[in-house]
Amino acid sequence: MSRLRRSRLPARLDVTQTLSGVALALFIWGHTLFVSSILISKDAMWTVTRMFEGYFILGRPLPVLVSIAVAVVWALLLVHALLALRKFPASYRQYRAFREHRQAMRHADTHLWWWQVVTGFAMFFLASPHLYKMLTQPAAIGPYASGDDVWSGAWWPLYLLLAFSVQLHAGIGVYRAALKWGLPGGGDGARTRRRLRVLFGGITAVMLALGLLSLATYLRIGYEHRDRVGERYVPASVAAPEQP
Partner 1 sequence: MNDAAADMPAETQPPRRLRISVLRYNPAEPERAPRLQTYELEEADGMTLFIALNEIREIQDPSLQFDFVCRAGICGSCAMVINGRPGLACRTLTTQLPTKIALAPLPVFELIGDLSVNTGKWMRAMSERVETWVHAQETAQGADLDRAEARMEPEQAEAIYELDRCIECGCCVAACGTARMREDFVGAVAINKLARFRLDPRDLRDDGDFYELIGDDDGVFGCMTLLGCDDVCPKDLPLMTQLAYMRRKMAAAGWRGADGAAATPD
Closest CB 168 distance from partner 1, rounded Å: 17
Q: Other CB atoms closer than 10 Å to residue 23's CB: what's the count?
A: 16
From 67-75, 99-107, 146-154, 223-231, give the range in contact with partner 1 by CB under 8 A.
99-107
Q: Residue 45's closest CA among 243, 235, 222?
A: 235
Closest CB 102 distance from partner 1, rounded Å: 7
53, 65 contact by CB (below 8 A):
yes
Residues 186-205 that bind partner 1 (CB under 8 A): 186-187, 189, 193
Contact residues for 178 (Cβ-Cβ < 8 A; gap 6+): 196, 200
State residue 7 phi and psi, 5-degree precision: -60, 145
Q: Residue 43's closest CA among 234, 239, 208, 206?
A: 234
| CA dist., res. 204 & res. 211, Å (int) | 10
| Contacting residue, 58, 105, 118, 154, with partner 1 by CB under 8 A | 105
Closest CB 83 distance from partner 1, rounded Å: 11
**Interface characters, 121-160, with partner 1 (x: CB under 8 A):** ----------------------------------------
| CA dist., res. 77 & res. 110, Å (int) | 24
Q: Residue 223's closest CA among 123, 173, 148, 127?
A: 148
**Interface characters, 46-75, with partner 1 (x: CB under 8 A):** ------------------------------
| Contacting residue, 27, 34, 52, 113, with partner 1 by CB under 8 A | 113
Closest CB 95 distance from partner 1, rounded Å: 8
Give residues in contact with partner 1 (CB under 8 A): 1-3, 5-15, 86-87, 89-90, 94, 97-98, 100-107, 109-110, 113, 176, 179-182, 186-187, 189, 193
